[in-house]
Amino acid sequence: MSNLSEEGRVPINEKGTGTPPEKLESVNNVGLEGYQTVDAETEKRLLKKLDRRLIPMICWIYLMNFMDRVNIGNARLYDMELELGMTGSQYNLAVAVLFITYCLFETPSNLIIKRLKPARYLGGLMLAWGLVATFSAFVNNFAALVACRLLLGTFEAGLFPGILLYQTIFYNKRQISLRNAYFYATSAAAGAVGGLVAYGIGTMDNDGAGTAGWRAWRWIILINGIPTVLTAFAVPWVLPNSPETASFLTEEDRRNLVIMRNSEIGATKNASELHKEDVMDGVKDWKIYAWSIAQFCGHSVLYSFSVFLPTIIQGMGTWDTAQIQALTVPVYAVGAATYITCALISDRIQQRAIFCFGGGIVMILGYCLLIANQSVAMSFAGCFLVAIGLWTSTGTSMAWINVNNPRYGKRAYASGMLITIGNSAGVASPFLFAKKDAPSYRPGYGATIGMLLLALVLHVTIWWCLRRANQRKLAGKEDWRVEGKTEEEAAELGEDNPRYLYTT
């Protein structure tokens, strides 16, 4: 391929434009000669085709995943602790131990998923945790429950970061936030669906008499687990391993998808492969750890709020158990709808930070209302505000870190570390709401507000640094990085390319 200037250098006066798509072995007629684009109508049609095939299954998988993980909160309302002989903080410990194994295996899983067949790998994980979740209904003591929770964390660990990474195989940085929103908002939908399912299954408790010798808490766990096992067998048949093996795409679709994926600075065939050097770049990048600590703060809210929302609502009034389950539904539904709307806007304006900031501030306001506890209406409004900010802030952060790491190895490490550190909050968050603090839970709310303020500071710091880096590139202060380099060599610089602008 010919260079674009007489000196053999990359033209550095066209900031933020795309690099030519590099030819993939299985896709014909995609060369390096000149810049290629896909017209808006073709892109829209192809995205619809991808969305129809990928998104429903991805959302269903995560719905099952989140319900299996947090349905212990619904089960608690039907005397699970009493029947298993649990005392003191043993319930909190049972919730927390899942995240020990969960965090241990997240990043390693992300580094091997592409070496395996992603669809089969995700399906295998789903089958394993589905079986564990289903048989958790048969436990008879605290030790057995803890063992099941540890195994559940082991097999669930690879799913969430794996899906984040899997979607970047098909979607580019302009499209990814909304697609992340579809599946991440499913965790809010899982809360709503889980509440409805628990509400229905709760009638099987028969005022403590149970059905077929089982109390309702066992039925909640069993009935939630079985669909997971059944779905696992369908995953490898529905989800493709890559665009090149996607049978539902035509040859022209594959060609256009290559152009769309590689139309951004730093998106080359070499960059899409796992390299040790890229992983090490991630290890040395402080921003990844700042994002991850902020996500830890956000996930402290996610897991405490998701597991303890029924308990929080229980402390507001004198509702019966079925009514409490029903009252969780609108809270989750509003949270999911708000996040998807914000993600759509985020993709359109190509801004991420403002939604992280805004979501954090709204959550803080919500917890202030819960601390004030002036009335049932005010406290319930606080729950809605927390849900509105929670999924918007934590979900946008996951898209934000991925779109700013164009090379696969670093992106795999970054997303894995974000979820690993973020989900480690699940170990501590169950202890934020101790029984002795009921029903006001002021210490837990206060600690949560402190963590949200820390997350806000970290997000502002990252935004400022990325904005400053973009200003340096636009001012030509980073042009020295491509002096004497060919276009292909400059493209391999990834985010260090002076034409690559960070998404803020």
HEC per residue, 421-490: HHHCHHHHHHHHCCHHHCCCCHHHHHHHHHHHHHHHHHHHHHHHHHHHHHHHHHCCCCHHHHCCCCHHHH
| Mean pLDDT within 490-504 | 84
First to last CA, the chain: 33
Q: What is the pLDDT of residue 357?
A: 95
Measured between alpha carbons, how far is residue 474 from residues 263, 294, 374 in Å? 20, 28, 52
pLDDT digits (tens, 9 = 90+) for 334-385: 998 999 999 999 988 989 999 999 999 999 999 999 888 778 889 889 999 9
Gap between the Cα atoms of 475 and 495, Å rounded: 16
C-beta separation of 247 from 240 below 8 A: yes
> Does residue 1 surpass a pLDDT of 70?
no
| Residue 93: Cβ-neighbour burial (10 angstroms; 0-12, 13-18, 19+) | middle
Instruction: State the sign of the Cα–Cα–Cα–Cα dihedral 390, 391, 392, 398.
Output: positive
% of the chain exceeding 90 in pLDDT: 37
> Does residue 318 surpass a pLDDT of 60?
yes
- In DSSP terms, which residues pair with 214 in a beta bridge? 211
Q: What is the pLDDT of residue 369?
A: 92
| Mean pLDDT within 462-482 | 93
| Mean pLDDT within 397-416 | 86
> Does residue 27 surpass a pLDDT of 50?
no
Which range, of 3-12, 187-196, 259-268, averages the lowest pLDDT?
3-12
pLDDT digits (tens, 9 = 90+) for 408-428: 788 888 988 898 898 888 777
Among candidates 56, 59, 65, 51, which has minimal Cα distance to 227?
Answer: 65
> Does residue 387 surpass a pLDDT of 80?
yes
pLDDT band at 263 (very low <50, low <70, confident <90, very high): low
Sequential DSSP letters for 373-398: ---HHHHHHHHHHHHHHHHHHHHHHH
Boundaries of every domain in the chain: 43-238+250-496
Q: Which residue has the higher pLDDT, 95 or 366?
A: 366
Structure tokens that stand for 113 in this block: 């998923």
Gap between the Cα atoms of 421 and 39, Å rounded: 40
Task: Write out the CATH class of domain 43-238+250-496.
Answer: mainly alpha
| Mean pLDDT within 436-449 | 83
Gap between the Cα atoms of 264 and 52, Å rounded: 24
pLDDT band at 264 (very low <50, low <70, confident <90, very high): low
Gap between the Cα atoms of 303 and 390, Å rounded: 11
Q: What is the mean pLDDT of the chain?
A: 84
| Residue 466: Cβ-neighbour burial (10 angstroms; 0-12, 13-18, 19+) | buried
Burial code of 308-325, b = ≥16 C-beta within 10 A, e = fewer? Answer: bbbbbbbbbeeeebeebb
Q: State the helix-helix crossing angle for 408-423 and 286-314, rounded to 10 degrees.
A: 40
Q: What is the pLDDT of residue 174?
A: 80
> Does residue 248 surpass a pLDDT of 50?
yes
Which of 169-183, 311-325, 348-362: highest mean pLDDT?
348-362
C-beta separation of 452 from 472 below 8 A: no
Q: Which residue has the higher pLDDT, 503 or 322?
A: 503
Gap between the Cα atoms of 13 and 131, Å rounded: 57
Q: What is the pLDDT of residue 291?
A: 97
pLDDT digits (tens, 9 = 90+) for 59-78: 999 889 888 877 888 888 88
Within 174-250, residue ranges assigned H as helices are: 176-184, 186-202, 216-232, 235-238
| Mean pLDDT within 140-154 | 95
Block residue for tokens 């809210």:
301
Strand, helix or coil at 214? strand
> Does residue 148 surpass a pLDDT of 50?
yes
Measured between alpha carbons, how far is residue 305 from residues 56, 243, 347, 352, 420 in Å? 25, 37, 27, 24, 19
Q: What is the dihedral of CA 307, 61, 290, 495, to 10 degrees?
A: -170
Q: What is the pLDDT of residue 399?
A: 87
Q: What is the pLDDT of residue 7?
A: 35
pLDDT digits (tens, 9 = 90+) for 38-47: 788 888 899 9
Beta carbons within 10 angstroms of residue 38's beta carbon: 18
Block residue for tokens 């897991």:
303
| Mean pLDDT within 469-491 | 86
> Does residue 284 surpass a pLDDT of 50?
yes
pLDDT band at 34 (very low <50, low <70, confident <90, very high): very low
> Does residue 457 surpass a pLDDT of 70?
yes
What is the distance of C-alpha 281 from the center of its chain? 23
Phi–psi pair at 287, nearest 5 degrees? -65, -35
> Does residue 125 surpass a pLDDT of 70?
yes
pLDDT digits (tens, 9 = 90+) for 78-92: 889 999 999 888 988
| Mean pLDDT within 251-258 | 86
Which of 17-26, 376-385, 481-490: highest mean pLDDT?
376-385
Sequential DSSP letters for 91-157: HHHHHHHHHHHHHHHHHHHHHHTTTS-HHHHHHHHHHHHHHHHHHGGG--SHHHHHHHHHHHHHHHT
pLDDT band at 272 (very low <50, low <70, confident <90, very high): low
Q: What is the pLDDT of residue 271?
A: 65
Q: What is the pLDDT of residue 26?
A: 38
Q: What is the 3-state secondary structure (H, E, C) of 260-321?
A: HHCCCCCCCCHHHCCCHHHHHHHHCCHHHHHHHHHHHHHHHHHHHHHHHHHHHHHCCCCCCH
pLDDT digits (tens, 9 = 90+) for 197-212: 877 888 888 777 778 8
C-beta separation of 336 from 192 below 8 A: yes
pLDDT digits (tens, 9 = 90+) for 131-142: 999 999 999 999
Among candidates 310, 306, 312, 296, which has minimal Cα distance to 445?
Answer: 312
Q: What is the pLDDT of residue 184?
A: 83
The residues, any chain, with a CB within 8 Å of residue 256's CB and separated by 6 or more, are: 38, 42, 43, 46
Q: Which residue has the higher pLDDT, 484 or 94?
A: 94
Which of 91-100, 261-270, 284-293, 433-442: highest mean pLDDT?
284-293
Q: Which residue has the higher pLDDT, 360 or 193?
A: 360
% of the chain exceeding 70 in pLDDT: 90
